[in-house]
Each structure stands twice: as C-alpha cells, then as structure tokens.
C-alpha cells in the first residue's frame, strides 16, 4: 500500500464523514485482552485486576517531531504507539490499551490514515501483545498531530519510580543506545534539498548499518517486556531513555538525591542522543536480570547529578522540545 501522503490518490479525509472515517480506522484495529467494552460507545471499559491503572500520554506533531517526507503512515503509527508503551514499561507495568486522538488536514488521504492505524496495531502486536487501541478522537487541523494515551496494569507489583536509586547500587540499561540519534542525523544530512527541505528516503543509498540506524529512529523497538521483568527482579528505580542517556540519568539522579556515574558508555551518540527508548534502571548488584547490562554505579550525592567515568559531562545532547525546536524545524 502506498504510504506517503503526497503519493496517494483517492479518497481524502475531507470527503468522508467522521463516522465513515472511523469505520475505516477500526476495521484495521483489534481490541485488547483487557477490554470489557471496546470502541463504539462514548468510552471504553477496561478490566483492572489489582485496582491500579498506570497512565501516560505523548504527542507527535508534524514539524518538530516528524516529517511526512521521511515517515510513512505506518511508521508514524508504530512510533506513536511505541513511545507511550515504553513509558508504561518503564514503570514496571504491562501495557493494556491505547487511546488515540488524531488531528488531520482535510486533504489527508484515507489510505494514509488507515496505514497509520495499521502501524499502531503492529506496534501493539509485536511489542506488547494483548494491548490495542480502544478509542480516541478525530478532528480536522492544518497540522497533522497524533496524541496517544497509554494505560497499563502492575499485575500486583509496586510501580518502579525514578526516585528509588540508592548509593551502592549499579545502573543498568536494556536496549540499544545511540542508533536513533545516528538515524536522525542521517535524515538531516542525506535526505534534504540544498534549501533544507526534507525529501523521501532512498534506502538504496544506505548501508545495512545505516538502515538499522534509520529504523531505530523511525520505528523504534524497545525491549518492553523487560520493564515488568526489572520490577520483579527488584529494580529500585527505572525510566525510559527517550531524551538521551545523560539527560535522563540526571533526572533519575535528581529524583533520587544521588549521583549516577556512567562508567561503561563513551559513545557521544549514546550519551547525548535521544529517542532510543531503552530502559535505564538501578539494581542491587546481584539482582540485575538477563537482558540488562551494567553501565555505571550509584554514588552518594556529589557536586553534580551525573558523571561519566568520574568526571563531569561537558558534552551536548538530549532532547528538549523547547530548546531544540528551531534546530529540528524544516
């Protein structure tokens, strides 16, 4: 199926009623295993076995967050789901459902919206089986915007917060670091006109390694199942590495009142890049589960929240949508 908005002929969003468009979308999706009442009513009803719900939300906006020239509808749906599923997993929870709000221009092809829905479903099916889209909202806007709310359950365990790391513990990560940053740099370096406008990606111009970096940026596949595993293994603190290892480690260190010393990561892309969605966690030394690799230690609070091999980190990086807006426009 063609997926780029400017390459698809046929029906557009503006030619259909809201109910007709929703029917096309829900024909692509399937319900979650926790849904008692799914799409079609004013609200969904989900089972909550232990009485607690974990909730997070994230928004992707055309311009600062993605470019239609670089991402297909399926890519966008996959990524929009993934960034939210990762936040649920980082609490030690199991994702159960997504609620999605779409604001789309009237000339958006219906096929593109269906492709986006397919990406949402694929992310749920492959990264968190049993989770699915259970409803949302649809409206018209000049700017394509995808807002996703994810819900999860703790299955009887306590949530793992950022604030629990203690001196003497080790810091470990599960998932790759740096690839997404390299993928973003590829897009800006290789797939723009001289005037800076984005152009469609030509995979034939990429090596297998570069293609993998691009996939990490456009269709991230974080190890979501390791979030609940870390919780069961006694993780004292955990978070999703979405804005760069150093920046997110600083957030954990500040919340916990400690210093985190990163001793086993030297790659600038891994330290300062963002959007990897790996899991960063603190454990007692003997509790690190399979799939996590130790990259540092937790120390008593010092002069700085994060050090790299014992020294202050003077590199740049980490994603801040307000600070980095201009740099990522185009």
How far apart (Å, rounded) are the C-alpha atoms in residues 253 and 170? Answer: 13
Q: Which domain holds residue 35?
A: 5-153
Q: Tell me the pLDDT tens digit for each residue of 112-146.
A: 999 999 999 999 999 999 999 998 899 999 999 99
Same domain, 269 and 320: yes
Q: What mean pLDDT do residues 203-224 have?
A: 96
Q: Which two tokens stand for residue 229?
A: 């595993």
How far apart (Å, rounded) are the C-alpha atoms in residues 286 and 277? Answer: 25
18 is in an annotated binding site: no
287 is in an annotated binding site: no
How high is the mean pLDDT of the chain?
89
Helix-then-strand count for the chain, H and E: 8, 13
What pLDDT band is residue 12 in, cutting at 50, 70 and 90? confident
Number of domains in the chain: 2
What pLDDT band is residue 4 in, cutting at 50, 70 and 90? very low
- The CATH number of whichever domain residue 311 belongs to comes to 3.90.650.10
The beta-strand segments (E) located in the chain are 35-37, 45-46, 54-61, 94-104, 132-140, 145-153, 170-174, 237-241, 258-262, 278-283, 293-300, 306-308, 311-312
What pLDDT band is residue 19 in, cutting at 50, 70 and 90? low
125 is in an annotated binding site: no
Same domain, 149 and 186: no
How far apart (Å, rounded) are the C-alpha atoms in residues 184 and 159? Answer: 32
How far apart (Å, rounded) are the C-alpha atoms in residues 160 and 4? Answer: 39
User: What pTM, to 2 d.p., does this model score?
Assistant: 0.88
- Inform me whether the pLDDT recorded for 68 exceeds 90: yes
pLDDT of residue 326: 45
Q: Tell me the pLDDT tens digit for each residue of 134-190.
A: 988 999 999 999 999 999 999 999 999 999 999 999 999 999 999 999 999 999 999
- The CATH number of whichever domain residue 98 belongs to comes to 3.30.1330.10
What pLDDT band is residue 37 in, cutting at 50, 70 and 90? confident
Same domain, 191 and 248: yes
Among 153, 170, 204, the domain-final residue is: 153
314 is in an annotated binding site: no
* Residue found by looking up tokens 């609200």 in the block: 43
Same domain, 167 and 149: no
Same domain, 171 and 292: yes
Same domain, 124 and 222: no
pLDDT of residue 329: 42
Same domain, 70 and 217: no
Among 122, 153, 184, the domain-final residue is: 153
136 is in an annotated binding site: yes
58 is in an annotated binding site: yes
Same domain, 141 and 174: no
- Inform me whether the pLDDT recorded for 6 exceeds 50: no
pLDDT of residue 44: 84
Among 120, 136, 153, the domain-final residue is: 153
Same domain, 186 and 288: yes
240 is in an annotated binding site: yes
Same domain, 117 and 225: no
- Inform me whether the pLDDT recorded for 256 exceeds 90: yes
143 is in an annotated binding site: no
- Inform me whether the pLDDT recorded for 29 exceeds 90: no
Q: How many CB atoms neighbour CB 57 within 10 A? A: 13
Percent of the chain residues topping a pLDDT of 90: 75
Comparing 12-21, 81-90, 217-226, 283-292, which segment has the lowest mean pLDDT?
12-21
Same domain, 233 and 300: yes
Same domain, 21 and 145: yes
More confident residue, 17 or 81: 81
Contact in structure between 185 and 273 (CB atoms under 8 Å) = no
More confident residue, 46 or 279: 279
162 is in an annotated binding site: yes
87 is in an annotated binding site: yes
């Amino acid at each position: 199926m063609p997926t780029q908005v400017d390459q698809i002929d046929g029906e557009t969003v503006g030619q259909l009623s809201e109910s007709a468009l929703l029917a096309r979308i829900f024909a692509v999706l399937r319900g979650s295993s926790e849904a008692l009442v799914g799409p079609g009513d004013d609200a969904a009803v989900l089972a909550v076995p232990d009485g607690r719900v974990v909730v997070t939300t994230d928004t992707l906006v055309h311009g600062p967050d993605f470019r239609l020239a670089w991402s297909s509808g399926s890519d966008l749906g996959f990524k929009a789901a993934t960034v939210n599923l990762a936040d649920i997993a980082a609490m030690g929870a199991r994702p159960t459902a997504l609620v999605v709000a779409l604001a789309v221009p009237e000339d958006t092809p219906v096929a593109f919206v269906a492709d986006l829905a397919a990406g949402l479903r694929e992310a749920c099916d492959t990264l968190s089986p049993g989770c699915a889209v259970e409803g949302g909202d649809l409206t018209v806007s000049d700017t394509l915007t995808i807002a996703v709310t994810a819900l999860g359950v703790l299955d009887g365990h306590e949530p793992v917060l950022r604030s629990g790391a203690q001196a003497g513990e080790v810091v470990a990560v599960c998932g790759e670091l740096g690839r997404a940053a390299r993928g973003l740099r590829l897009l800006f370096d290789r797939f723009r006109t001289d005037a800076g406008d984005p152009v469609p990606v030509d995979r034939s111009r990429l090596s297998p390694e570069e293609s993998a970096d691009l996939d990490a940026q456009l269709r991230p596949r974080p190890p979501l199942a390791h979030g609940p595993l870390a919780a069961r293994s006694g993780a004292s603190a955990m978070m999703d590495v979405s804005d760069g290892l150093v920046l997110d480690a600083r957030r954990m260190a500040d919340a916990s009142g400690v210093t985190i010393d990163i001793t086993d990561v030297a790659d600038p892309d891994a330290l300062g890049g963002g959007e990897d969605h790996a899991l960063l966690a603190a454990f007692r030394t003997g509790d690190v589960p399979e799939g996590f690799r130790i990259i540092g230690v937790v120390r008593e609070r010092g002069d700085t929240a994060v050090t790299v091999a014992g020294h202050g980190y003077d590199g740049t990086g980490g994603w801040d949508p307000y600070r980095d807006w201009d740099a990522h426009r185009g």
